[in-house]
Structure 1
Amino acid sequence: MSKKTIQVYDRPAGGWGALKSVAQQIFEQGIPAKGARTLLSANQPDGFDCPGCAWPDKDHTSTFEFCENGAKAVAAESTARRATPELISQHTVAYLAAQPDFWLENLGRLTQPMQYDPASDRYQTVSWEQAFELVAERLNALPSPNDAIFYTSGRASNEAAFLYQLFVREFGTNNFPDCSNMCHEPSGFAMRESVGIGKGTVLLSDFHVAEAIFIFGQNPGTNHPRMLGELREASKRGAAIVSFNPLRERGLEKFQDPQSTIEMIADKATSISSSYHQVKIGGDLAAVKGIIKCTLEADQAAQAAGKPRVIDVDFIAEHTANFDAFAADVLAEPWDVIVTESGLTREQIQRSADIYMKAKSVIACWGMGITQHKHSVATIQMIVNMLLLRGNIGRPGAGPCPVRGHSNVQGDRTMGIYEKPSPAFLDRLGQVFDFTPPRENGYDTVGAIGAMLAEPNKVFFALGGNFATATPDTDATHKALRNCALTVHVTTKLNRSHLVHGREALILPCLGRTEIDMQETGPQAVSVEDSMSMVHLSSGINAPASKHLLSEPMIVARLAAATLKNRSKTPWMSLVADYDRIRDKIAMVLDDFADFNNRVKVPGGFHLRNTASERVWNTATKKANFKAHRVPTDLPIHRAREKHGRQVFNLSTTRSHDQYNTTIYGMNDRYRGVFGERRVLFINKEDIEQLGMKAGSWVDIESLGEDGVHREAKRFMLVEYNIPRGCLASYFPETNNLVPLSSFADFARTPTSKSIPVLLTPHQAKETASAVH
């Protein structure tokens, strides 16, 4: 483990630091030769799709097409370490639960199915047949199918997700909480109302011609490192890159491309952001509305002077609705409100607007720094409003670009992993598979936790993921899971969720993305959909970590066959004998996947139709809709400060650089200068002084939820950082317990993990000695 230090990181993102980190990760996992060979197959036509993020593949002919965090994900999956039943059963679950997540991750790959034994408080080996029969028996004994909850991780393939939703709907429920509910749900909701489709409209090629790229609430250097290559090229050809983020993030400042021999040998880097604006946490809506206000005021001035219009009046007239009411709302918004709530000066906003108005093509990107707020839907619709104002949707180099996380989180939703399915989808699914799908909407993530809390004895089944750690309100979530009669997890490694279990529990180990999936008709490929709606194949190259592993499609099929038995007409085992058969069924249900097998086998795959990119608006008005929203001044942070005073901080959870979602690969956050410690709190220097403390002091964090529940996270070290006053940042999952289950995005119900009102108090225990420099 690294020595605990805090030090300023003044190197660019990427570069030699990234290569060193990749080499170290491969070596530590005990796979120096195989690891290098495996990495060279990542994101290649005849290889596997990286199990990390959903950023699209650029060039399959490049020497390598992976990034630092993708390499960590691949190395972790390809590790030589094995978490055998013999190893796991040496320890009680109580002992395992007391270990840090990093320790659990490093036990290695699970090798056999295991069942919890309450008498010994240990997991013991169980056969696959016994496991499937147990789940089937418990599911069929439930009073209602709606008493079962089926979670999905964004790493599941299209084929696994399609079979999974089919099985669950044949079983009789739409209870599909999934990781989308905790990340980009607001993006889908907001964009469907605004432009008629919940996906981004841009392709990777649009980044090559965009004149300006606006980035909101995103840290690509850690979360989507391959995106930095596109931003580097855009910057070098002169495109303006305007970033809005409370924290100064190294990846948005400078990047040294490990694939550029010149940059690496000369030790030079490329500047990324031409403008960097540190909005207050949650201030993006105000900032974007300010840009729009500047644009409308400039348009009024141009009209008065008889000059060309600033806004695209022809596009607005032909393709949009509600413009007049929207423009009136923007012009009526007071500048002092915009400035106060954004945390930017009027001059900063004007400079951003000037860049926007000058550019003939603009892309707007955003991440979870936008989606995990109470007003996230309104913020995204304001970003789309900005694009509509000058016709920046449906032409080259322009459009909205929500940058999603897990490698197939978008594809899972396309395949039907959704608690509120459309009637048209259910009609077609029922027609193709000859059954009557349930029509009642199911639980999302927040609803599922609430239901498990209120109604014990449910069955919780997770196709991947780490539900107990990814979710908000940790104490409540853990209690909900322990209320269950049975918890089942399909997984590659041991994680926290397996240790927060129901009365009965199973762990079902599956193949990883990097491994050969051998079925009756030979080796199989699965398909995934990236953030830009490209669908392509993924084929593992490594031998499975254990002969006992099953693929996710096989696990779903065998579970369905055991549970549904004579009441299902679906040929489950035939479908998983050859995944082409699954894809043929997908093509029968989803029109956009017509001729699926032939199209996906072309190198690079195919692009799903995006109606908004064609300027076809599938909205109620059959137009793109301008959506008016006032700048919010009555959010939880406002109310907390009214009640408790200005000493209330606004806390945003974030990832470290040695982390992907809930997986902890190491204890360092290189770009932020944190080494060997995760219980840190990034804070402005002046705020530290006002608290009467110093960098390195330890504090407790109290959440000011509005539900009357006391929530506290103890012993966090203050780290001086370039962040606006009144704002804090800290890692999740360590601070997930501070997010109330009842605090979520309007309309989309995403937990508000990026805006938590908190108070800080000195930690009373004896402070741990720490080397802080």
Structure 2
Amino acid sequence: MASKPPSGDPVQDAPQVAAPRHSAAGLPAVAHSLRVAQQQMGVTRAARTLLKVNQKDGFDCPGCAWPEGDHRHTAEFCENGAKAVAEEATLRRVTPDFFAAHPVADLATRSGYWLGQQGRITRPMLLERGAGGSDGGDRYEPVSWERAFAIIAEELRALDSPDEALFYTSGRTSNEAAFLLQLFAREFGTNNLPDCSNMCHESSGSALAETLGVGKGSVSLEDLHRADLIIVAGQNPGTNHPRMLSALEKAKSAGAKIISVNPLPEAGLERFKNPQTPQGMVKGAALADLFLQIRIGGDQALFRLLNKLILDAAKADPAVVDEAFVAEHTHGFEEFAAAARAADWDETLTATGLDRDDIERALAMVLASKRTIVCWAMGLTQHKHSVATIREVVNFLLLRGNIGRPGAGVCPVRGHSNVQGDRTMGIFERPAPAFLDALDREFGITSPRHHGYDVVRAIRALRDGDAKVFFAMGGNFVSASPDTEVTEAAMRTARLTVHVSTKLNRSHAVTGARALILPTLGRTDKDVQAGGRQIVTVEDSMGMVHASRGNLAPASPHLLSEPAIVARLARAVLGPESPTPWEEFEKDYASIRDRISRVVPGFEDFNARVAEPGGFRLPHAPRDERRFPTATGKANFTAAPVEYPELPAGRLLLQTLRSHDQYNTTIYGLDDRYRGIKGGRRVVLVNADDARELGLADGSYTDLVSEWRDGVERRARGFRVVHYPTARGCAAAYYPETNVLVPLDSTADTSNTPASKSVVVRFEQR
């Protein structure tokens, strides 16, 4: 029997703190997965649902985008995947009676944890508040789908320009829904398609597109298993991508070496207790051969020095550098080499906080490897110099020919399921002209060619009155975005905010003059349309496209699928004059895939190929052919100046991160088991030596105040200080609670990604 949702928010005033753990998964992960599943779904429903997760005839986990191999375990999910599935397949329901009992002002006082625990939304809901949200209704009320679409159409048609509308997409959106949404937006007349990639891996796409010609990773799961050396930089697989640990374990058993580069020790990279095997459950496997506890933001300096040392080693042994590959396939080597040779040991040690011996140990492992992979996540992508850092990673791999070689390559590890697929489907504010040309030919429309707004620019547009309607396909935009107070104030200026959602979150309580919540089917739900039972498709972090089929009865008869919502909205807005067969698309998603196959390269014969168990792999020219579709026609070495954050005296560099009991902004619980935190989220992890110098006693409480060049005070109040073995000069705290500290205009060069991993903070004790 499933349990009831909490009636009140749990008190988080005094979190308990114990020593951090040195292993991940094992029996505690199994026990916690089963407990959460039982609480949300009950025993029978939990078994029926979890056994379909990530199976070839089942549904794709709504959590991370880690790929599955051809052979699947019976339980092909991790602890956090089980939590994600349980929260979507929950038996808890949010009905109109709930909204009648909870005014928006009350919802705004609730934690994200409490909101998410209430369950699935069952009816479309409308809030009418008047201009500025200052008058009118104070509660959401049920509304018909027809009325909801009419309201959106009314507001969109009243805009002075299509560019006053914003269409945001989260990573959980299927390929089919994403393709329809971008098609609708462009037929409406705008490229304002901000998405969650703008806040996470945009830096990766920017750097890889420039240097390799394809803004995606180049490795497959099989490549990881064949690698000699895997460098995991700025990433915590144990919490954020737990199934990656199985791949690392397999690589390790085949002889691979693993280097972890991170300001924080991460339990999963220390030891992985694989719950799929008896030996793994009990003993586990040590994964990282070397832990480089780098100072936040020092990664570019580290890879630049490694490149210098590789070039130095080539003087004695020319085979150290793959000269044939460099000569045939790359451009810009001489300029890069000059910059690399100028790298300075002392500057690097300052930037990284590392010991010389550790860097030399890493170099020895690099030189001994014939097949090297570098994996990374937000620890590399959310700094001012993130794009330059990832370019330096590419330099590092190009130098020894580790692109287009089995067992080698670039591996940006995407967070949210199908965030990569959404971009492939055209969810991008700066689309390629060739994509728009193909779209226009297929549908007989004229897409706008000017660039739209990304996330940061969308918030500015709302703030400045240049955008008036905000439509979100999933996600929790308010909590996920930087500069929380600015973002919330900007959202409240909108004439209409619309959220296509399965569950409640903070964004539903921060609204425009009018607000709609449109409840949708989840990955676990059966999707039956007029054309019969439907499948949707997703693309994983390594470019595999496969089908997803829900197996549960929908949470309410009043839900619509995401493709149906977009199709009906498009017809309501564009009217009968639209040449696009929206009704056909809603009836049968195979018709959407037919159109995708004629617009998006790599999806030819889409329906037949996705019918194959396990799906199909998208082409990747650098990996498959050592062909680089860049401006030069070759892989580009680069030579950006080395950057790293510099700290004023008495300040620390803060990175925002997840606890183990959350996925993105979805909070599953109030514990961080691997870091020893229980019963609260407002904690700040500080190196004990730094804490003593700053007078921060373990267990004391402090406000965090960020400092940036605009002089604006941004404050996060009441954080418990935890002495923790993080790198010197560094601190860490959970988002979204600390997103208030991230200035809207503090972003990565080129990609415009919020610099959430390098926030200069001071401490004001309470």
Residue deviations 1:660-684, cap 9 Å, x none?
A: 0000000000000000010000000
Please, which of 740, 744, 748 is the counterpart of residue 741 of structure 1? 744
Matched residue SS, 2:57: coil
Counterpart of 1:390? 400
Counterpart of 1:142? 159
- Written as runs of structure 1 = structure 2, the 5 A alignment for 1:184-223 is 184-223=201-240
Letter in 1 for 2:23: P
- For the 8 Å contact 2:33–2:83, the answer to whether it is kept is yes
- For the 8 Å contact 1:175–1:419, the answer to whether it is kept is yes
Q: In the TM superposition, what is the alpha-carbon distance from 1:545 to its structure 2 partner?
A: 0.3
* Residue 689 in structure 1 maps to residue 700 in structure 2: no
Give the Cα separation in 2 of the matches to 1:420 and 1:301.
46
* Residue 32 in structure 1 maps to residue 43 in structure 2: yes
Q: In the TM superposition, what is the alpha-carbon distance from 1:11 to its structure 2 partner?
A: 5.2
Q: In the TM superposition, what is the alpha-carbon distance from 1:346 to its structure 2 partner?
A: 2.1
Counterpart of 1:770? none
- For the 8 Å contact 1:89–1:122, the answer to whether it is kept is yes
Please, which of 233, 236, 239 is the counterpart of residue 256 of structure 2? 239
- For the 8 Å contact 2:203–2:753, the answer to whether it is kept is yes
Give the Cα separation in 2 of the matches to 1:682 and 1:692.
14
Change (3 A) 1:36 1:442: same
- For the 8 Å contact 1:31–1:78, the answer to whether it is kept is no
Give the Cα separation in 1 of the matches to 2:326 and 2:173.
40
- Written as runs of structure 1 = structure 2, the 5 A alignment for 1:406-421 is 406-421=416-431
* Residue 21 in structure 1 maps to residue 32 in structure 2: yes
Give the Cα separation in 2 of the matches to 1:664 and 1:102.
5
Residue deviations 1:334-391, cap 9 Å, x none?
A: 2111111111122211111111111010011000010000000000011111100110
- For the 8 Å contact 1:147–1:458, the answer to whether it is kept is yes
Residue deviations 1:278-324, cap 9 Å, x none?
A: 0000011111111111111111233xxxxx53111111111111111
Residue deviations 1:235-260, cap 9 Å, x none?
A: 22321000100001101110000001
Counterpart of 2:299? 284
TM-score w.r.t. structure 1 length? 0.96
- For the 8 Å contact 2:271–2:286, the answer to whether it is kept is yes
Please, which of 125, 128, 131 is the counterpart of residue 148 of structure 2? 131
Give the Cα separation in 1 of the matches to 2:656 and 2:139.
33
- For the 8 Å contact 1:381–1:627, the answer to whether it is kept is yes
Counterpart of 1:662? 665
Change (3 A) 1:744 1:11: closer
Residue deviations 1:58-98, cap 9 Å, x none?
A: 24542221001000000000101000111122111001110
Letter in 1 for 2:214: I
Q: In the TM superposition, what is the alpha-carbon distance from 1:120 to its structure 2 partner?
A: 3.7
Q: In the TM superposition, what is the alpha-carbon distance from 1:457 to its structure 2 partner?
A: 6.4
Q: In the TM superposition, what is the alpha-carbon distance from 1:630 to its structure 2 partner?
A: 2.2
Give the Cα separation in 2 of the matches to 1:648 and 1:46.
53
* Residue 610 in structure 1 maps to residue 625 in structure 2: no
TM-score w.r.t. structure 2 length? 0.96
Q: In the TM superposition, what is the alpha-carbon distance from 1:689 to its structure 2 partner?
A: 1.2
- For the 8 Å contact 1:707–1:742, the answer to whether it is kept is no
Counterpart of 2:357? 347
Counterpart of 1:379? 389
- For the 8 Å contact 2:305–2:344, the answer to whether it is kept is no
Q: In the TM superposition, what is the alpha-carbon distance from 1:268 to its structure 2 partner?
A: 0.4
* Residue 552 in structure 1 maps to residue 567 in structure 2: no
Counterpart of 1:87? 98
Q: In the TM superposition, what is the alpha-carbon distance from 1:456 to its structure 2 partner?
A: 6.2
Matched residue SS, 2:101: coil
Give the Cα separation in 1 of the matches to 2:744 and 2:467.
20
- For the 8 Å contact 2:150–2:572, the answer to whether it is kept is yes
Counterpart of 2:3? none
Residue deviations 1:617-641, cap 9 Å, x none?
A: 10111111111122215xxx42xx4
Q: In the TM superposition, what is the alpha-carbon distance from 1:262 to its structure 2 partner?
A: 2.4
Counterpart of 1:710? 713
* Residue 488 in structure 1 maps to residue 505 in structure 2: no
Letter in 1 for 2:300: L
Please, which of 16, 19, 36 is the counterpart of residue 8 of structure 1? 19
Matched residue SS, 1:29: helix
Aligned residues: 748
- For the 8 Å contact 1:456–1:485, the answer to whether it is kept is no
Letter in 2 for 1:629: A
Give the Cα separation in 2 of the matches to 1:129 and 1:622.
51
Letter in 1 for 2:251: A
- For the 8 Å contact 2:120–2:502, the answer to whether it is kept is yes
- For the 8 Å contact 1:220–1:251, the answer to whether it is kept is yes
Matched residue SS, 1:487: strand
Aligned residues: CA RMSD: 1.1
Please, which of 607, 611, 622 is the counterpart of residue 633 of structure 2? 622
Matched residue SS, 1:122: coil
Please, which of 287, 295, 303 is the counterpart of residue 272 of structure 1? 287
- For the 8 Å contact 1:114–1:507, the answer to whether it is kept is yes
- For the 8 Å contact 2:65–2:418, the answer to whether it is kept is yes
* Residue 650 in structure 1 maps to residue 633 in structure 2: no
Letter in 2 for 1:349: I
- For the 8 Å contact 1:240–1:273, the answer to whether it is kept is yes
Give the Cα separation in 2 of the matches to 1:617 and 1:457.
38
Matched residue SS, 2:680: coil
- For the 8 Å contact 2:175–2:425, the answer to whether it is kept is yes
Give the Cα separation in 2 of the matches to 1:229 and 1:35.
23
Residue deviations 1:17-41, cap 9 Å, x none?
A: 1001101101221422111220110
- For the 8 Å contact 2:41–2:86, the answer to whether it is kept is no
Matched residue SS, 2:319: coil
Matched residue SS, 1:593: coil
Matched residue SS, 2:308: helix
Counterpart of 2:314? 299
Moved more, 232-241 or 4-13: 4-13
Q: How many percent identity over aligned positions?
A: 55
Matched residue SS, 1:678: coil
Gaps of 5+ in 2: 1-9, 130-135
- Written as runs of structure 1 = structure 2, the 5 A alignment for 1:466-481 is 466-481=476-491
- For the 8 Å contact 1:321–1:621, the answer to whether it is kept is yes
- For the 8 Å contact 2:496–2:515, the answer to whether it is kept is yes
* Residue 432 in structure 1 maps to residue 442 in structure 2: yes
Give the Cα separation in 1 of the matches to 2:254 and 2:544.
26
* Residue 255 in structure 1 maps to residue 272 in structure 2: yes
Counterpart of 2:88? 77
- Written as runs of structure 1 = structure 2, the 5 A alignment for 1:30-179 is 30-118=41-129, 119-179=136-196
Matched residue SS, 1:413: helix
Counterpart of 1:700? 703
Matched residue SS, 2:140: strand
Please, which of 723, 737, 740 is the counterpart of residue 726 of structure 2? 723
Give the Cα separation in 2 of the matches to 1:724 and 1:210.
28
- For the 8 Å contact 2:21–2:675, the answer to whether it is kept is no
Q: In the TM superposition, what is the alpha-carbon distance from 1:170 to its structure 2 partner?
A: 0.5
Residue deviations 1:95-151, cap 9 Å, x none?
A: 111011100001100000000143341000000000000100110111110000110
- For the 8 Å contact 1:456–1:483, the answer to whether it is kept is no
Give the Cα separation in 2 of the matches to 1:703 and 1:363.
35
Letter in 1 for 2:298: G
Matched residue SS, 1:591: coil
- For the 8 Å contact 1:114–1:123, the answer to whether it is kept is yes
Letter in 2 for 1:746: D
Counterpart of 1:768? none
Moved more, 505-514 or 342-351: 342-351
Letter in 1 for 2:315: Q
Give the Cα separation in 1 of the matches to 2:531 and 2:276.
39
